[in-house]
Amino acid sequence: MSTAKKQYKRVTVKSLVDMKQRKEKISMLTAYDYTMAKIVDGAGIDVILVGDSASNVMAGHETTLPITLDQMIYHASSVIRGIDRSLVVVDLPFGSYQSDPKEALRSAIRIMKESGGHAVKLEGGKEVKDSIKRILNAGIPVMGHLGLTPQSIYKFGTYTVRAKEEAEAEKLKSDAKMLEKLGCFAVVLEKVPAQLAKEVAESISIPVIGIGAGAGVDGQVLVVHDMIGMTHEFNPRFLRRYLDLYSEMTQAFKQYNDDVKSGDFPNAEEQY
Ligand SMILES: Nc1nc(=O)c2c([nH]1)NC[C@@H]1CN(c3ccc(C(=O)N[C@@H](CCC(=O)O)C(=O)O)cc3)CN21
Ligand SMILES: CC(C)C(=O)C(=O)O
Ligand SMILES: [Mg+2]
**Among 211, 224, 227, 238, which residue has the most ligand 2 atoms within 8 Å of its CB, making it the best to mutate?**
211
Residue 245 has a pLDDT of: 98
The finding on whether 86 has its CB within 6 A of some atom of ligand 1 is: no
Mean pLDDT throughout 261-269?
A: 98
Beta-strand pair 26-30/47-50: parallel
User: pLDDT tier at 79 (50, 70, 90 boundaries)?
Assistant: very high
- pLDDT, mean over the chain: 97
User: pLDDT tier at 1 (50, 70, 90 boundaries)?
Assistant: low
The finding on whether 57 has its CB within 6 A of some atom of ligand 1 is: yes
77, 10 in Cβ contact below 8 A? Answer: no
pLDDT tens digit string along 229-247? Answer: 999 999 999 999 999 999 9
pLDDT tens digit string along 166-210? Answer: 999 999 999 999 999 999 999 999 999 999 999 999 999 999 999
pLDDT tens digit string along 52-71? Answer: 999 999 999 999 999 999 99
Smallest-distance ligand from the CA of 93: 3
246, 233 in Cβ contact below 8 A? Answer: no
Residue 256 has a pLDDT of: 99
Percent of the chain surpassing pLDDT 70: 97
Ligand 1, atom 3, lies closest to the CA of 223
**Quick check: 153 pLDDT over 70?**
yes
The finding on whether 121 has its CB within 6 A of some atom of ligand 1 is: no
Q: Decide if the complex's ipTM is over 0.85.
A: yes
Q: Is 60 exposed, middle or buried (0-12, 13-18, 19+ CB in 10 A)?
A: exposed
Smallest CA-to-CA distance from 106 within 142, 134, 79 is with 134
Q: Which atom of ligand 1 is nearest to the CA of 64?
A: 10
- Residues within 6 Å of ligand 2 by CB: 30, 49, 51-53, 91, 188, 190, 211, 221, 223
What is the rounded end-to-end Cα distance, in angstroms, of the chain?
A: 43
pLDDT tens digit string along 85-108? Answer: 999 999 999 999 999 999 999 999
- Is the peptide bond preceding residue 193 cis, with omega within 30 degrees of 0? no
99, 122 in Cβ contact below 8 A? Answer: no
Residue 29 has a pLDDT of: 99
Ligand 2, atom 8, lies closest to the CA of 51
User: pLDDT tier at 250 (50, 70, 90 boundaries)?
Assistant: very high
**185 CB contacts (<8 Å, ≥6 apart)?**
13, 14, 16, 17, 119, 141, 142, 143, 206, 207
171, 178 in Cβ contact below 8 A? Answer: no
The continuous run of DSSP H or E covering 18 comes out as helix 13-21
> Can you give the pTM of this predicted structure?
0.96
Ligand 1, atom 13, lies closest to the CA of 150
Smallest CA-to-CA distance from 19 within 220, 218, 176 is with 218
